[in-house]
Amino acid sequence: MHDDRLLTEARLNRFVADRLLPAVYARALPLTVTGWNVPDEPVSFAEAVDQDYVPVVGGEPWGAPWSTKWLRISGTVPAGWGAEGRTLEAVVDLGFTIEIPGFQCEGIAWRLDGTIAKAISPRNQHVSVDLLGSGDGIEFLVEAAANPDVARGFVFAPTPLGDKATAGALPQYRLGPIVLAERDLQVWELCQDVGSLNGLMHVLPVDLPRRSEILRALETMMDVMDPTDVSGTAVAGRAALAEVLSRPAYASAHNVVATGHAHIDSAWLWPVRETIRKCARTFANVLALMNDHPDFVFSCSSAQQLAWMKEFYPDLFVRIKAKVATGQFVPVGGMWVEADTNMPGGEAMARQFVEGKSFFRREFGVECRETWLPDSFGYSGALPQIARAAGMEWFLTQKISWNQVNRMPHHTFLWEGIDGSRIFTHFPPVDTYSSELSAAELAHAQRNYREHGRGTLSLVPFGYGDGGGGPTREMIAAAYRAADLEGSPTVSIGSPAQFFAQAAAEYPDPPVWLGEMYLELHRGTYTSQANTKLGNRRSEHLLREAELWAATAAVRLGMEYPAGQLKRLWQLVLLQQFHDILPGSSIAWVHRDAERNYDAIAGELYPLIRETVQALAGAGDEPLLVNAAPHERAGVPALGIGPMVLPDEPVRITEADGGYVLANGIIRAAIDANGLLTSLLDYATGREAIAPGSFGNHLELHRDTPNAWDAWDIDEFYRHNVTSCAAARSVTLERMGREPVVVIERLVGSSPVTQRIRLAAGSPSLSIQTLVDWQESEKLLKLGFPFDVRADRSAAETQFGHVYRPTHTNTSWEAAKFEICAHRWIHVAEPGYGVAVSNSNSYGHDVTRAVRSSDQGTTTTVRLSLLRAPRSPDPFTDQGPHGFWVTVRPGAAIADAVEEGYRTNLEALHVRGAAPVQPLFTVFNPALVIEAVKLAEDGSGDVVVRLYESLGQRSTGLVTAHFPVGSVEVTDLLEEAVAAPAGVVPGPGGAELTLRPFQLVTLRFRR
């Protein structure tokens, strides 16, 4: 037989493009269109419907970036249209391209009664006339959003489109045809048959008989059909394909559970205000699909997005609730947003689940059991414990498939956190959270699956995502055809819970992955958009203080606890922790919004804290220190208010070689004529912390031009180009009260830098403030400290503990971690001696080691990443003033690092009052750190305490309440009673604790 395969495939492509697809709509006629341009920000339907609309013609330009245009569309259905086998649809082309749906203009169709019918998007332009109402006439409104294509093919070139202030006013789009059309159902179904078979054929080996059988069936289909009468011969064409479509799958075929999905980024290349409309558009689409396909299931994460629907689209929210009740619309994830997990603090990470799960329970009666984070940029080793403490049983992501170097060895496994908690985890081997259920994607999932021979099942989230849109009827048709099809994995539509239950049952003893899941990509997100990072860190600590003092005042004074205000502010902070906001990878508009939100949060919390503290302290003139930290400070107990104990020994300062030496009897620091730290010694050990021949407080400027993903990525070759910024313009001495401050002026590139080095009396650490007026482009600024420590690993704070990472590069896994995330502190040590570096608002770090040729000693260098200057998606990232506070503590153990982290981030508050205020709680062992003190979520007035073991060792202690307590019970994160774990013994007025390393415990003290 002659090989005419390529010719036949070419014939098929032409037949589909020229004959089949144009015949889907048998006939069409133009609709009447008028329009109204919204002057500024989007308006409600009620405001839009009564405006004066003017005629609009096809091809008319419209849509300045981020603007909105309302269209009024009307027409009459001709007699005889909509006969059996044909459905009537309005087809609206707003000027789309078919590429990257969700990243360009979109619309939503409104009925005249003010309810939403369906969305309109590039690959989903139709609206069924049945959805718009009955009768011979149709009339509806389209709210068209002129969202600009900021991505522009992801070339990462600078663009002004990401900020409304710079985007300009030129129209972005031209209106295409807007018509009433008849869809020929047989032709449409034939297109789905051909699409599925053609896709399957191309993923099968050329020498497999099944591939040739499909090709010949497609050839027969073309032969039996009349290209001049596609509609009349479509049934014959489908009959020619029926046999090859009915062949059952191999018995050993991989099994796929497909769940509808949309992954709507809560902000990214669009602002939050547009995300709200994207959610409405997407959810309207899936509700329409559910009416047509009762077996269709859609999985929706992010309580925040559904809360927006309740607030802004109440009718849509009611319809969503109805579909939740039928099991078709499935809330998943149990978090407020799909958060970044590297940078949020421990309590913030816990509150993601508290707020998310509470919303799903309250609004839908749903108990989420799967943690759903398909697109976050790496996963903290503390997450398994936090998720399990929130009642989660399963975890899903796929982002690790983006690793640049190392491939994860599993797709289904147990993930073990830093405390020993384990959670059943799945990475969809389809390697996307926005599948179209194409044959190529399904074949990739089967081929890529790492658990063959042990497991048979994987999950495929399908539907257009990132910018939203969700599943389409074509995707559902593809799922039906692949349900049991020879050569393809089997496909069943279901929920994540159904998948996880089946997967866990068939794979009872999966392998284990221990510790963090580090994404070998997007390392720049620890540093980009420094103001967003600062706002997050500051807000987390302000909320800690506000809750602590409000709870103390409620118990001590009977003051009203501001529960509603605190919940609202927590939810706003949690929103900013979305995985494209806190990481700094969004357009300028998003980060300006975040900065305004953080300022508003601080504007509410600072007065709340001060007013509450003043009420606790009472009227008087005694100077008092307010200590919100979980450790004693200046003689004031943890979580209490009292008079400071001033240190006996003042700070001594001497001049040496054009620089200064500071000493306070605990440590001594030498600063040279360039403001560099040449010596740092603690008297207790007598050891010098700075490596011989080196200096700390070293600013270094690197070229920062990643291959792609500018705001996201730092590529390893940034180290190839570095400029030492060691020279100072001036080094002078000032006074801050009784204490001397060394002031250094520098120029880093074109950016003025002022540093203030301070040693406080009685302090075990040296404080360095760095103020930068950042004027660089595509540069990375680091602050380094080379220590005379032979450290083979570093310890970096994460949620409720710390994670160790090697400082060497023995393997590719270690070499890939050239930029790492730390929260408030990082610690390097050899047996018996260590140094801690704390920070106020930095997350990116690197730790390297070198053996000195002079004495064979080891220099371990800790560097903090202070600022970057990527040009995409925000071309002016971080331009302007910034401040960073760093402390260096020599002779430090892990416990000292933990204390230093709180000291650096919980600024001292001084008041005058009548008397000290006793803490609500004391802890016998400082290794057990109280992270949160608050009143219970249920309004009962009970006091909730969350604490953790902070040193990474078994620790024993006693938590005692200093107020009348009825009983003490152990709870989950949602403050519901659970059986006390081993080592936790509640008693009258307190609890005895023997905690494993990093164990997290929540206690409820009933009043």
Model's pTM, two decimal places? 0.97
pLDDT beyond 80 at 135: no
Catalytic residues: 375
Using 50, 70 and 90 to split pLDDT, how confident is the model at 211?
very high
Residue type, 164: K
Asked if 900 contacts 836 with a C-beta cutoff of 8 angstroms, the reply is yes
| Residue 953, token pair as written in the block | 């060792």
Q: Give 491's strand partners.
A: 256
DSSP assigned state of 418: T
pLDDT the model gives residue 98:
84
**Residue 588 to residue 550: CA distance in whole angstroms:** 35
Q: How many helices (H) and strands (E) does the chain have?
A: 20, 52
Q: Which DSSP state fits 134?
A: S
pLDDT band of residue 161 (cuts 50, 70, 90) is very high
Q: What is the pLDDT of residue 735?
A: 84
Buried b (16+ CB within 10 A) or exposed e, 627-642: bbbbbbbbebbbbbbb
Amino acid identity at 212 = S
CA distance 221 to 226: 10
Report the run of H or E that residue 682 belongs to, with start and end: strand 677-682
Question: Can you tell me whether residue 78 is helix, strand or coil?
Answer: coil
Give the pLDDT band of residue 736 (cuts 50, 70, 90). Answer: confident
Q: Which of 577, 633, 588 is nearest to 843 (CA)?
A: 577
**Residues 4, 224: Cα–Cα separation, whole Å:** 19
Instruction: Report pLDDT digits (tens) over 571-612.
Output: 999 999 999 999 999 999 999 999 999 999 999 999 999 999
pLDDT digits (tens, 9 = 90+) for 471-497: 999 999 999 999 999 999 999 999 999
Residue 738 has pLDDT above 80, yes or no: no
H helices of 327-472, in order, are 346-364, 383-389, 439-448
Distance CA 998, CA 948 (A): 6
Give how far Cα 703 sits from Cα of 674, 706, 723, 864, Å. Answer: 23, 9, 9, 16
Alpha helices in 377-519 (DSSP H): 383-389, 439-448, 473-481, 496-506
Q: pLDDT-derived band of residue 826, with 50, 70 and 90 as boundaries?
A: very high
Average pLDDT, the chain: 97
CB of 547 closer than 8 Å to CB of 933: yes
Beta bridge partners of 372: 396
Q: Three-state DSSP class for 806?
A: strand
Six token digits for residue 588 = 């300028």
- Reduced to 3 states (helix: H, G, I; strand: E, B; else coil), residue 413 is strand
- Is the torsion defined by CA of 690, 756, 820, 395 positive or negative? positive
CA distances from 4 to 9, 28, 122, 222, 751 (A): 9, 38, 36, 15, 67
What mean pLDDT comes out for the span 871-881?
A: 98
Local confidence band at 657 (pLDDT 50, 70, 90 cut-offs): confident
To the nearest 10 degrees (0 to 180), the angle between helices 185-203 and 473-481 is 60
pLDDT tens, 607-643?
A: 999 999 999 999 999 999 999 999 999 999 999 999 9
Closest CA to 442 of 463, 464, 460: 460
Residue pLDDT, tens place only, 831-868:
999 999 999 999 999 999 999 999 999 999 999 999 99
- Identity at 170, one-letter amino acid code: L
- Rounded to whole angstroms, what are the CA distances from 846 to 50, 755, 771? 59, 21, 21
- Report d(CA 831, CA 833) in Å as an integer: 6
Cα separation, 129 vs 181, in Å, equals 10
State the alpha helices, DSSP H only, in 36-179: 45-48, 129-132
Report the length, in residues, of the chain: 1007
Distance between CA atoms of 156 and 235, rounded to whole angstroms? Answer: 48
Residue 134, pLDDT above cutoff 70: no
What's the whole-number mean pLDDT along residues 962-983? 97
Report the side by side order of strands in the sheet with 909-913: 640-642, 622-627, 909-913
Q: What is the pLDDT of residues 48-88, one digit of tens each?
A: 999 999 999 989 999 999 999 999 999 999 999 989 999 99
Cβ 753 vs Cβ 769: under 8 Å = no
Instruction: Report how far residue 766's alpha carbon sits from residue 677's, in angstroms, rounded to the nearest whole number.
Output: 10
Query: How far is 797 from 453, CA to CA, in rounded Å?
Result: 39
- 42 membership: H or E segment, kind and range: none
Least confident of 132-141, 184-193, 454-463, 750-759: 132-141
Task: Name the one residue in this structure whose structure tokens are 């009962």.
Answer: 940
Map tokens 């008028």 to a residue: 34
312-321 pLDDT per residue, tens: 999 999 999 9
What is the structure's pLDDT at 133?
80
Average pLDDT of span 721-744: 93
